[in-house]
A and B are shown apart, each in its own frame.
Chain A
Amino acid sequence: MPLKIIASQCTGCSACEPECPNVAITEKNGTFVINPKKCTECIGHFDTPQCIAVCPVDNTCIIDTSLPRYRPAA
């Protein structure tokens, strides 16, 4: 499952954008969105998802349970 950003809680501060190792985060109408096709939950890059680690508002970057879990290529 990739991560998603709860738009109503996003402050638009842009802190997550440069931290994403997959360049999956872009600005859209003043807040930020994660491209689920690019998100790898930071697996293979870092111990924890970087967007969660840097986001100033708790529970704003969360796992999108409506999508299948990310699987690293074997």
Chain B
Amino acid sequence: MQQPFTSTPDAAKLNEVLQQVAGHKGCGTSGGGKASYGSGAGSSDLPPEVWEKVKNHPCYSEEAHHHYARMHVAVAPACNIQCNYCNRKYDCANESRPGVVSEKLTPEQAAKKVLAVASTIPQMTVLGIAGPGDPLANPEKTFRTFELISKTAPDIKLCLSTNGLALPDHVDTIAKFKVDHVTITINMVDAQIGQHIYPWVYWRHKRYVGKEAAQLLSERQLMGLEMLTARGILCKVNSVMIPGINDQHLVEVNRAVKSRGAFLHNIMPLISAPEHGTAFGLNGQRGPSARELKALQDSCEGEMNMMRHCRQCRADAVGLLGEDRSAEFTTEKIMAMEVNYDSATRKAYQATVEVERQAKVAARQREFDTLAGANSDLKLLIAVATRGSGLVNEHFGHAKEFQVYELSTAGTKFVGHRRVDLYCQGGFGEEENLATIIRAINDCHAVFVAKIGGCPKADLRAAGIDPVDQYAGQFIEKSTLAWFKNYLDKVGSGEIVHQPRGDADIRQGAYIAA
């Protein structure tokens, strides 16, 4: 077998994994197993052909996002609309939000980048084009990129994300290139509301403004959605929650997109700060709190599958959701790389991931069975520090985000994540950062970590958050259920009194990846 990784920094780690892969040969992947997509539903609820499309897509399957990675290539700089939460001039290496990108690529550079990343990160299964403008406002570049990749790496799933204005014109081409997944950002279905989100759209050689612009955009979005679902292409709808503008209205959007066959709805918090230079950032428009966001997502959940694990990633993001390895794959580095695409190695690696994934699901089921006798209406949130694979495996001080789960006797449910600045910087803790972290997980009763120092432990306890380090290296769902069972026992015996928690902040602005 070829070793295409020797020139990369990950070579040692990957070789270690490949050793394990060798040991697992012969373990086939059934592709079955229960796994949640969006939120709590399992594969048994999905037609097999749909399950096949989502099971390894980190954005379409919550469960897959712990194991599989995606990448975006920034080949589409032009846009055909203006949104009040976007400023195309802003670009900064420390910024991580959609529409922002440091380097633009030609389709040829993008194709080489995809091969380089796929060879270095074998669990990378999805290639998306998401901007930094609108992919369908750059149709030649977008489809040329898909064409090149489908020739050289046919096992990679193709995906694109659009504002929908040009979508009806390109549905046939999308189907032709076997793009399985399309995301449409739909923030409103009412022009009265839309005029406060979109100052203008450019369509067929004319700039439209005000309600006329919003009306046109909305009609094109819904028409595009219907055309895609009629062709069996999976559609996710993204909506930006803008308090006071469309927060109440998104329930109506949810019904409108569900009735047109959307598969998944992703309600995301507005990212807005004055330093972004966006219209909303400059006029002081706030984003939602963690509780407001969750309440809206919960109220839409009965209607359809909700996505809660979106990291609102950049148009050039690389890696697992929540991590950004794009700095390892700059154009300069890629052009210097000797890329050797080896689909056999990728397959073998993904087979081990599948084994790990099945083990995790089995462990959750076993633990859940022990909860069977428990009977309580109690529901609470807990935060987890993880580096992936569905394990409690990150130190408190090294966590760049915490995953949030809701625990109840119905089981454990992923409900979101909170981005934070590192607590531990070069060996000592930053008190100011600790306060920010506590605010970010202030709605949680406990935080699960692989390890934590004495000082932050005491401060967390003082804030009413239980630091839990006894499940280091174990599966998240199994661990949290075991802890929850114990918690219920203690509440039952009167040893502790269950207290409700407060609200939490959603991190705004730049985060430092280093």
Partner of B78, one of A15, A47, A53, A57: A15
In B108-157, which residues have CB < 8 Å from any A CB? 132-133, 137-138
Partner of A56, one of B79, B104, B206: B79
Specify which chain B residues have a CB less than 8 angstroms from the CB of A47 in the assembled complex. Answer: 206
Q: How far is the CA of A41 from the CA of B206 in the complex (A)?
A: 14
Does B205 lie within 8 Å of A13, measured CB to CB?
A: no
User: Any chain B CB within 8 A of the CB of A40?
Assistant: no
Specify which chain B residues have a CB less than 8 angstroms from the CB of A26 in the assembled complex. Answer: none
Q: How far is the CA of A34 from the CA of B202 in the complex (A)?
A: 20
Q: How far is the CA of A9 from the CA of B132 in the complex (A)?
A: 17
Q: How far is the CB of A59 from chain B (nearest CB, A)?
A: 13
Specify which chain A residues have a CB less than 8 angstroms from the CB of B89 in the assembled complex. Answer: 9, 11, 57
Q: How far is the CB of A52 from chain B (nearest CB, A)?
A: 8
User: Any chain A CB within 8 A of the CB of B77?
Assistant: yes
| Size bracket of the A interface | 10 to 19
Q: Is the interface of B mostly helix, strand, loop or mixed?
A: loop
Does B79 lie within 8 Å of A53, measured CB to CB?
A: no
User: Any chain A CB within 8 A of the CB of B325?
Assistant: no
User: Any chain A CB within 8 A of the CB of B88?
Assistant: yes
User: Any chain B CB within 8 A of the CB of A48?
Assistant: yes
Partner of B77, one of A9, A14, A53, A54: A14
Does A13 lie within 8 Å of B88, measured CB to CB?
A: yes
Give 1 or 0 for each of B187-209: 1 = CB within 8 Å of chain A CB: 00000000000000010011100
Q: How far is the CA of A65 from the CA of B89 in the complex (A)?
A: 26
Specify which chain A residues have a CB less than 8 angstroms from the CB of B133 in the assembled complex. Answer: 13, 15
Specify which chain B residues have a CB less than 8 angstroms from the CB of A9 in the assembled complex. Answer: 89
Give 1 or 0 for each of A1-22: 1 = CB within 8 Å of chain B CB: 0000000010111110001000
Q: How far is the CA of A11 from the CA of B207 in the complex (A)?
A: 19
Q: Known contacts A13-B77, A48-B207: does B202 contact A53 (CB below 8 Å)?
A: yes
Specify which chain A residues have a CB less than 8 angstroms from the CB of B206 in the assembled complex. Answer: 46-48, 53
User: Any chain A CB within 8 A of the CB of B80?
Assistant: yes
Q: Count chain B CB atoms within 10 A of each CB in A47, A50, A56, A57 and give the residue with the most.
A: A56
User: Any chain A CB within 8 A of the CB of B82?
Assistant: yes
Q: How far is the CA of A56 from the CA of B205 in the complex (A)?
A: 15
Q: How far is the CA of A47 from the CA of B506 in the complex (A)?
A: 45
Q: Chain B: which residue is nearest A17 at the CB level?
A: B78
Q: Chain A: which residue is nearest B91 at the CB level?
A: A11
Does A54 lie within 8 Å of B88, measured CB to CB?
A: no
Q: How far is the CA of A19 from the CA of B88 in the complex (A)?
A: 19
Partner of B80, one of A14, A46, A54: A54
Q: Count chain B CB atoms within 10 A of each CB in A13, A14, A48 and give the residue with the most.
A: A13
Q: Chain A: which residue is nearest B140 at the CB level?
A: A18
Specify which chain A residues have a CB less than 8 angstroms from the CB of B79 in the assembled complex. Answer: 13, 15, 56
Q: How far is the CA of A56 from the CA of B87 in the complex (A)?
A: 8
Q: How far is the CA of A53 from the CA of B80 in the complex (A)?
A: 10
Does B88 lie within 8 Å of A53, measured CB to CB?
A: no
Q: Known contacts A15-B133, A47-B206, A48-B207: does B88 contact A57 (CB below 8 Å)?
A: yes
Specify which chain B residues have a CB less than 8 angstroms from the CB of A53 in the assembled complex. Answer: 202, 205-207
Does B205 lie within 8 Å of A15, measured CB to CB?
A: no
In B189-236, which residues have CB < 8 Å from any A CB? 202, 205-207
Q: How far is the CB of B162 from chain A (nearest CB, A)?
A: 15
Specify which chain B residues have a CB less than 8 angstroms from the CB of A19 in the assembled complex. Answer: 205
Q: How far is the CB of A45 from chain B (nearest CB, A)?
A: 8
Give 1 or 0 for each of A35-74: 1 = CB within 8 Å of chain B CB: 0000000000011101001101100000000000000000
Specify which chain A residues have a CB less than 8 angstroms from the CB of B78 in the assembled complex. Answer: 13-15, 54
Q: How far is the CB of B203 from chain A (nearest CB, A)?
A: 10
Partner of B88, one of A46, A48, A50, A56: A56
Q: Chain A: which residue is nearest B138 at the CB level?
A: A14
Q: How far is the CA of A73 from the CA of B88 in the complex (A)?
A: 38
Q: How far is the CA of A15 from the CA of B136 in the complex (A)?
A: 11
Specify which chain B residues have a CB less than 8 angstroms from the CB of A13 in the assembled complex. Answer: 77-79, 88, 132-133
Q: How far is the CB of B83 from chain A (nearest CB, A)?
A: 10
Q: Chain A: which residue is nearest B205 at the CB level?
A: A46
Q: How far is the CA of A53 from the CA of B202 in the complex (A)?
A: 7
Q: How far is the CA of A12 from the CA of B91 in the complex (A)?
A: 12
Top 8 nearest A-B pairs (CB, nearest first) are A15-B78, A53-B207, A13-B77, A56-B88, A54-B202, A11-B88, A14-B78, A13-B78
Given contacts A13-B133, A54-B207, 6 further A-B contacts (CB under 8 A): A13-B77, A14-B78, A15-B77, A46-B206, A50-B205, A56-B82
Q: Provide a sorted-by-A list of 23 A–B residue pairs whose CB atoms are within 8 angstroms.
A: A9-B89, A11-B89, A12-B104, A13-B88, A13-B132, A13-B133, A14-B78, A14-B138, A15-B77, A15-B80, A15-B137, A15-B202, A19-B205, A46-B205, A47-B206, A48-B206, A50-B205, A53-B207, A54-B78, A54-B202, A54-B207, A56-B79, A56-B88
